């Protein structure tokens, strides 16, 4: 037996008991006559004391122990004279009578503390040490608890978790698939699922009705920061539902998770159309923890000789409350430069300062005080406020202003630390026209249903009509992060075929890739819809973190490498042969 | 809104209520004046009645509906005159006032009933219809419930579910890996995990202490019947534990699952050593639902002139209670022929019948009545019993007798239908000597610790000693099926290196493949051990099923194909190029 208690368990009421604990040496302090050791495990830290007077030999041994040694300590619980009330076990210590070194440790390459001196690469290579740090350990425990709470809630709502296969078929749509050569079927490959989309729809055809799965998905994309080639979804689907059924169910789940995990009661989630979100925030995932809504000025600013505004498709701005004084010319110059970086690409930034008695503006020579006053009025600006105005092509300008708005929100401290503001974005466009390839892409995915009132137009409309179709799709956004998205699906074979046609599939291609689904729609497919939450992202957002990496036990870096196990790696020649493959890669000798 | 209630929900207390239900037309019966429809969903079946007198037009429409049409019915709940008490909704029916056809259906290729007329291939191709059948649907629901109950139990025991990566590194040990070419790292491959073994051990080094995961694992094996290339494990690991800690924890889990899922209270699981199991049952997964233990006869049968026995390494038999009369010469001949099939390969089968006043035997001419009587005595045989005796090389003979014992147990009806008899098999050999390759293989896996008392012999013993080492490994067996297995792991770098050396790894190979684990053992690896249950198998065994296939939503066939989606499949030339690969497969044109 290695322990009678763990390192987070002992309290004053255990005083006098003989106990055994095991764990890692977190820190030790030697005071000559006495040596103190903090022993750590997943559950906490317990102080152990060795006394020269009681057992000099034991104390000498204790002095020589290094950090991260694995120890088993036996002894008696006693009350501390010098209590540490910040620690759950801080009222007691163990008077050691026996010490067993279960394993030694080299000096770790970085300190196992909340604030570590390890860089990212080192932390990834020694991830098993990184996880000993509270911040990472607690993130993984949070994730585990969130998963089980999710399952309990969905179980209580009669959802059944069904495992869908990982070895499926490559469908060259959306992102790139990872593929897996089949040894038993030469020249053929499985693909890893980008999502269980078609399988969950087939489960609806199969009558399973309320399906969910917390499931790994895979995308072979060039990794942007904070993307992982494998990621986890809470994947759900329901039969005989309308959009409101889905939204209410998963609003219920989200509220329940915030309540259970964080003790936070969320208010009902507002719903906002995609169009409204774009007009008000220039983003389909607006951070509504602060206001600063967009205000359009075209009618007020055009025709007064300022060419930039006159020629712009859109003139739009935000109001930064109380910033007129604080933003010096230098600061505004910096802000303008920030907006002009290639990542954002704004041409310029117009400012209007509502100061006492005078309105100052970078475009003041084109407009009268009265005209500028009208602008301020439209913004409901008060004395001391500053307007920041962009102009240009409508869509691009809105996106640029979104970046500015988010920066101002952060810089001005408008965002409460423990503030969570979820909302539903609904009524996305069904199709996006891609100018380069001259074809439509599905904004959500090819199985998304148009809104009921748009079905007729979709079946019979012209090209221009297609651009205006609305999807019965929805996203859950919290604090500016997209947590999940879903849609009511097409369950009619003819409509699904029409959608594939619009997306540029030939009949043969549609049949080859999705014939099983089209076939299934002929055997009594019920109306159905669903949603998927990004589980890694949900973990991060609920903890106010911007990176998902610490919520993944063994993440990969931006080159898709696992630094710890050093994967991917070359395979043996026999493996190539068995798989009927040859490499064409020119690889330098290792 | 598609429904106010589901099809399994309405009872006599809903009488008079206006309701809406949706589901599939399971069956319809037309009685001229009235048409009855059974509407089915996941939850049950509700009878709907259409009446010519009330609404002739509606009734006419109802008559034309086909099987598996998807319908929405509105109407009033009324008491049935002719109640069906076998059905939860059998006291009521719905008097239809409105009918909406949500989708039509072609005639299914097989009947959606408990006993279907669909063959395996057809059922797999149309799996979404097969799942509509109660037997498959209930199996999937059982699996879903078993998963959540497993998680609840392990959560209550402070286990944390941690997801380990799916894209890992190929380690050419054990079974074959599926590999995944990396586009971003030309010439390099990920591998899919055969189990999360090394990751869970690293989590122990990381201090996570009690880890579990219900997780997909992958093996690219030539598929035997009832093996799947992807399968699911309940995977667990604990730090600071001895064998008894692990066994007690997972005995607790198993008992809890049987209680919750089946209402069965299991008794404490006996523990049996590997050696004992081989001697008593000729198998390391004995079915102990019936006795019929092996009895060895060497000392009694040798030296009496019967050469077959005299030259045998082992003479061993079982006693079939009360079978002496029932087993005619013809029946014994059949049994002998069954044992002589190449799958079993017995040379012959000796029988001894304890009849009243006389003992008859196929080897009667070599032995006196008194001698035969001694045999019967050793078997504790009574009048009417029959002994069945095999002889030959010890290991092979025991395996053959195991087959005979299982057949007799089944044929004689000795196995109770709802009888569950779990036991732990412990003290497996650590290493198996493979005559062909002239090297040791790990009986469990290369991370398994020898028993404490064998460590010294392992580090310093000779070749012969190695064969006698016992592993600190254990299997859970229920009703003759291996449910899971595990071991206390090595946590000492030197011992792990020694084990790799015994298994024929060069130092460089061990470092290349498992350097990360050996490295981790230098930074304070705690003593640890764990277990993994085969989740698919557990589902099947708990339901008295021999096949796991109906507990997997979308299984693959024996060629590793998903017949429904037709995977694996060829990929596009561009995909080969992006992955720096060429195919060497000669594939016929499709």
Q: Do A522 and B229 touch (CB under 8 A)?
A: no
Residue B365's pLDDT band, with cuts at 50, 70 and 90, is very high
Q: Which of B9, B113, B240, B555 to mutate to test the interface with A (most CBs of A within 10 A)?
A: B240
DSSP string covering A476-533, please? Answer: EEETTEEEEEEEEBP--HHHHHHHHHHTT--HHHHHHHHHHHHHHTTBTPPPEEEEEE
Residue A172's pLDDT band, with cuts at 50, 70 and 90, is low
Is the distance from CB of B487 to CB of B542 less than 8 angstroms? no
List where CATH 3.30.1360.30 sits in chain B: 290-411
For the structural domain made of B290-411, what CATH number should be given?
3.30.1360.30
Locus of tokens 């040694």: A69
Q: Do B187 and A491 touch (CB under 8 A)?
A: no
| Phi/psi of residue A264, nearest 5 degrees | -105, 130
Distance between CA atoms of A354 and A356, rounded to whole angstroms?
A: 7
Question: Residue A173: what pLDDT?
Answer: 62
Q: Do A571 and B205 touch (CB under 8 A)?
A: no
Distance between CA atoms of B335 and B569, rounded to whole angstroms?
A: 46
Is the distance from CB of A317 to CB of A390 less than 8 angstroms? yes
| Mean pLDDT value across residues B454-464 | 90
Question: Residue A229: what pLDDT?
Answer: 95
Helix axes of A274-281 and A394-411: crossing angle, nearest 10 degrees = 60
Residue B590's pLDDT band, with cuts at 50, 70 and 90, is very low
Distance between CA atoms of A249 and A459, rounded to whole angstroms?
A: 31
Tell whether the model's pLDDT for residue B212 goes beyond 70: yes
Q: Do A208 and B140 touch (CB under 8 A)?
A: yes
pLDDT digits (tens, 9 = 90+) for B93-119: 999 999 999 999 999 999 998 888 778
| Mean pLDDT value across residues A339-362 | 93
Question: Residue B588: what pLDDT?
Answer: 55
B contacts of A68 (beta carbons < 8 Å): 523-524
Q: What is the dihedral of CA A334, A340, A343, A346, to 10 degrees?
A: 130
Question: Residue A32: what pLDDT?
Answer: 87
**Chain-centre distance of CA B579, in angstroms?**
37
For the structural domain made of A12-103, what CATH number should be given?
2.40.50.140
Q: Do B240 and A132 touch (CB under 8 A)?
A: no
Spatial neighbors of A418 by CB under 8 A, at least 6 apart, are A264, A544
Tell whether the model's pLDDT for residue B345 goes beyond 90: yes
Question: Residue A128: what pLDDT?
Answer: 97
Put simply, the chain A residues between 235 and 294 with a CB less than 8 A from any chain B CB are 239-242, 245
Q: Do B554 and A188 touch (CB under 8 A)?
A: no
Q: Is B462 helix (H, G, I), strand (E, B) or coil?
A: coil
pLDDT digits (tens, 9 = 90+) for A254-278: 999 999 999 999 999 999 999 999 9
CA closest to A209 among chain B residues: B42
- Given the candidates 2.60.40.1190, 3.30.420.40, 3.30.930.10, 3.30.450.20, the CATH classification of the domain at B135-267+534-558 is 3.30.930.10
Tell whether the model's pLDDT for residue A505 goes beyond 80: yes
CA closest to A201 among chain B residues: B128
| Mean pLDDT value across residues A93-114 | 95
Distance between CA atoms of A309 and A189, rounded to whole angstroms?
A: 56
Q: What percent of chain B shows pLDDT beyond 90? A: 88
Helix (H), strand (E) at residue B295: strand B295-296
First to last CA, chain A: 46
pLDDT digits (tens, 9 = 90+) for B24-58: 999 999 998 999 999 999 999 999 999 999 999 99
| Mean pLDDT value across residues A394-400 | 97
CA distance B448 to chain A (A): 17
Residue A444's pLDDT band, with cuts at 50, 70 and 90, is confident
List where CATH 3.30.930.10 sits in chain A: 135-267+534-558
| Mean pLDDT value across residues A440-445 | 89
Q: Which of B7, B71, B153, B165 to mutate to test the interface with A (most CBs of A within 10 A)?
A: B165
CA distance A433 to chain B (A): 24
Q: Which is nearest to A450 in space by CA: A516, A502, A410?
A: A502
Tell whether the model's pLDDT for residue B226 goes beyond 90: no
Residue A590's pLDDT band, with cuts at 50, 70 and 90, is very low
| Mean pLDDT value across residues A188-202 | 96
Distance between CA atoms of B298 and B394, rounded to whole angstroms?
A: 11
| Mean pLDDT value across residues A293-313 | 96
Q: What percent of chain B shows pLDDT beyond 70? A: 99
Alpha helices (H) in B180-234, listed in sequence order: 197-205
Is the distance from CB of A490 to CB of A546 less than 8 angstroms? no
Alpha helices (H) in A165-263, listed in sequence order: 197-205, 243-262
> With the C-alpha atoms ordered B208, B214, B220, B222, is the resulting torsion angle positive or negative?
positive
CA distance B241 to chain A (A): 7
Question: Residue B173: what pLDDT?
Answer: 62
| Mean pLDDT value across residues A345-370 | 93
Spatial neighbors of B372 by CB under 8 A, at least 6 apart, are B352, B359, B361, B364
Tell whether the model's pLDDT for residue A165 goes beyond 50: yes
Q: Which is nearest to B178 in space by CA: A574, A181, A163, A556?
A: A181
Interface ipTM > 0.90: yes
Distance between CA atoms of A395 and A313, rounded to whole angstroms?
A: 9
pLDDT digits (tens, 9 = 90+) for B132-169: 999 999 999 999 999 999 999 999 999 999 999 999 99
Q: Which is nearest to A311 in space by CA: A397, A239, A242, A241?
A: A397
Question: Residue B587: what pLDDT?
Answer: 62
Put simply, the chain B residues between 162 and 221 with a CB less than 8 A from any chain A CB are 162-170, 172, 176, 178-192, 198-199, 202-203, 205-210, 216, 218, 220
Neighbours of B134 (CB within 10 A): 12
List where CATH 2.40.50.140 sits in chain B: 12-103
Question: Residue B183: what pLDDT?
Answer: 94
Q: Do B151 and A155 touch (CB under 8 A)?
A: no
Is the distance from CB of B439 to CB of B427 less than 8 angstroms? no
Question: Residue A88: what pLDDT?
Answer: 96
């Amino acid at each position: 037996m290695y322990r009678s208690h763990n390192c987070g368990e002992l309290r004053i009421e255990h005083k006098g008991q003989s106990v055994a604990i095991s764990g890692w040496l977190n820190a030790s302090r030697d005071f000559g006559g006495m040596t103190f050791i903090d022993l750590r495990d997943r559950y906490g830290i317990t102080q152990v004391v060795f006394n020269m007077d009681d057992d000099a030999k034991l104390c000498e041994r204790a002095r020589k122990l290094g950090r991260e040694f694995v120890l088993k300590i036996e002894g008696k619980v006693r009350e501390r004279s010098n209590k540490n009330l910040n620690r759950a076990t801080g009222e007691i210590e163990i008077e050691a009578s026996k010490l067993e070194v279960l394993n030694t440790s080299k000096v770790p390459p970085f300190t196992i503390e909340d604030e570590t001196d390890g860089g990212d690469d080192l932390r990834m290579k020694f991830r098993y040490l990184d996880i000993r740090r509270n911040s990472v350990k607690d993130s993984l425990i949070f994730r585990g608890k969130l998963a089980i709470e999710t399952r309990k809630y969905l179980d209580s709502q009669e959802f059944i978790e069904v495992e869908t296969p990982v070895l499926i078929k490559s469908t060259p749509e959306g992102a790139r698939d990872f593929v897996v050569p089949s040894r038993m079927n030469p020249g053929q490959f499985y693909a890893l699922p980008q999502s269980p989309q078609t399988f969950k729809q087939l489960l609806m055809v199969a009558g399973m009705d309320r399906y969910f799965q917390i499931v790994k998905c895979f995308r072979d994309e060039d990794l942007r920061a904070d993307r992982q080639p494998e990621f986890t979804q809470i994947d759900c689907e329901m039969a005989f539902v309308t959009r409101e059924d889905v939204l209410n169910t998963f609003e219920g789940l989200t509220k329940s998770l915030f309540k259970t995990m964080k003790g936070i009661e969320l208010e009902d989630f507002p719903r906002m159309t995609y169009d409204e979100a774009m007009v008000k925030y220039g983003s389909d995932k607006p951070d509504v923890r602060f206001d600063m809504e967009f205000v359009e000025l075209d009618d007020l600013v055009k025709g007064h000789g300022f060419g930039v505004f006159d020629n712009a498709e859109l003139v739009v701005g935000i109001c930064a409350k109380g910033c007129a004084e604080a933003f010096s010319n230098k600061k505004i110059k910096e802000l303008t430069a920030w907006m002009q970086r290639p990542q954002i690409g704004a041409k310029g930034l117009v400012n209007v300062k509502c100061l006492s008695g005078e309105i100052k503006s970078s475009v003041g020579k084109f407009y009268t005080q009265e005209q500028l006053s009208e602008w301020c009025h439209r913004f409901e600006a008060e004395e001391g406020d500053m307007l920041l105005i962009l102009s240009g092509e409508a869509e691009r300008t809105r996106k640029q202003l979104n970046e500015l708005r988010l920066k101002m929100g952060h810089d001005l401290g408008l965002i409460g630390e423990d503030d969570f503001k979820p909302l539903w974005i609904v009524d996305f466009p069904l199709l996006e026209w891609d100018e380069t390839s001259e074809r439509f892409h599905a904004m959500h995915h090819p199985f998304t249903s148009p809104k009921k009132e748009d079905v007729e137009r979709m079946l019979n409309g012209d090209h221009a009509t297609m651009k205006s179709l609305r999807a019965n799709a929805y996203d859950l956004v919290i604090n500016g992060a997209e947590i999940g998205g879903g849609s009511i699906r097409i369950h009619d074979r003819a409509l699904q075929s029409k959608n594939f046609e619009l997306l540029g599939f030939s009949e043969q291609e549609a049949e080859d890739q999705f014939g099983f689904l089209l076939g299934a729609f002929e055997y009594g497919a019920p109306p159905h819809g669903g949603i998927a939450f990004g589980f890694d992202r949900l973990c991060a957002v609920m903890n106010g973190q911007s990176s998902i990496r610490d919520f993944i036990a063994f993440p990969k870096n931006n080159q898709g490498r696992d630094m710890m196990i050093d994967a991917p790696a070359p395979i043996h020649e026999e493996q190539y042969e068995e798989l009927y493959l040859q490499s064409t890669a020119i690889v330098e000798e290792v």
